Amino acid sequence: MRPDPNLYDYWPYRERPKIVWPGGKKLAFWIAPNIEYYEYDPPRNPQRPGWPKPSPDVVGYSQRDWGNRIGHWRLMELLDRYGLRGSISLSIGLIDHHPEIIEACVARHWEFFSHGIYNTRYSYGLDEAQERAVLADSIRSVEAATGQRIRGYLAPALTHTEKTFDLIAESDFWYTCDLFQDDQPQPIKTKTGKLVSMPYSLEVNDVITYGAMGMSPWRYADVLKRHFDQLLEEAETSGTVMCIPLHAYLVSQSHRIRPFEDALRHIAGHADDVWFTTAAEIAGHYRDNYWDQAVDDIARRGLATGGTSFGETGGL
């Protein structure tokens, strides 16, 4: 048992080098619609069931199917009104099941990143060859369907192996959404590559706010606004990232979409200070301009710990 997996160093927020986003913006803002596919009767995984209820779970399946049939299109139209692009956390199998959704996202120049093949098939129990195959299939399938080389990864249902981060870095992914330790990007320790931990958020993820916390729609909208206001205030001296992870079967329900629009309107009203962008663009800017500075600052402050190095920078 390891008390600390040593995926990244402890790096206090206070007195870090300031990040300035393109155009002199203070806060980088991105939206992550999870466009997922849940199998009606998935293969059994001994470490975690595919559905909370015994399979087949007709209710769970049809609720998520509503998200792809109705909810996603409603959410897409809303983001269009505010000129916002999504960074799609994609169940890769959806390319085969609902190509029309993929085509609509491509037409809007949205980003795609991998969320595994299906959200009912987990990383638990995969050997290294199998996990490599999932990554290779993700890259190949999205590129064939969209012409886009994916750069991000969010493990299916947040399930991992001990090799996940090294393998995605080796496969030239730029960022992972699987860690929740910071409000800024941070270098992740991998054997190769330059893998960035991208702020994603569980706190304002609609699965948590609606599912676990049982918030009302207007309460959720208020939380989003206060979350944004705090990050924007701190961005004056630091440079921050805000992500809103969404699931159309939740946020796009008829009684929830307008409160969510109220939060978007508030955020969009700060265009002078906010870079409205995608996760890949954030990761690319950070890797090109702040990766080395971050690694050097960690070393200078004596915060680096032993173990896996920072990929291409080596030595820590």
Domain limits of the chain? 22-304
Q: Please give the single-letter amino acid code of residue 35.
A: I
Asked whether residue 252 carries a pLDDT value surpassing 50, the answer given is: yes
For residue 64, give the amino acid letter: R
What percent of the chain has pLDDT above 90?
Answer: 76
**Average pLDDT, integer, range 103-116:** 97
Q: Decide: helix, strand or coil at residue 200.
A: coil
Helix or strand run (H / E) with residue 175: strand 175-176
- 43: buried, middle or exposed (CB in 10 Å: 19+, 13-18, 0-12)? exposed
Mean pLDDT of the chain: 92
Give the pLDDT confidence score for residue 254 in this predicted structure: 98
The whole-model pTM stands at 0.93
Is residue 34's pLDDT more than 50? yes
Q: Helix 99-107 to helix 128-146 angle, to the nearest 10 degrees?
A: 60
pLDDT, position 39: 75
pLDDT range class, residue 229, cuts 50, 70, 90: very high
How is domain 22-304 classified at the CATH fold level?
A: TIM Barrel (3.20.20)
Bridge partners for 33 per DSSP: 246
Question: pLDDT, tens digit, for every residue of 48-105?
Answer: 777 677 778 888 888 989 999 999 999 999 999 999 999 999 999 999 999 999 999 9
Q: Smallest Cα–Cα separation from 72: which of 45, 101, 50?
A: 101
Q: How does residue 305 score in pLDDT terms, banded at 50, 70 and 90?
A: confident
The pLDDT, as a whole number, for residue 267 is: 98
Burial of 29 (0-12, 13-18, 19+ CB in 10 A): buried
pLDDT at 60: 82
pLDDT of residue 312: 57
Give 30's pLDDT tier (boundaries 50, 70, 90). Answer: very high
pLDDT of 158: 87
Mean pLDDT of 199-228: 96
Per-residue pLDDT, 2: 60
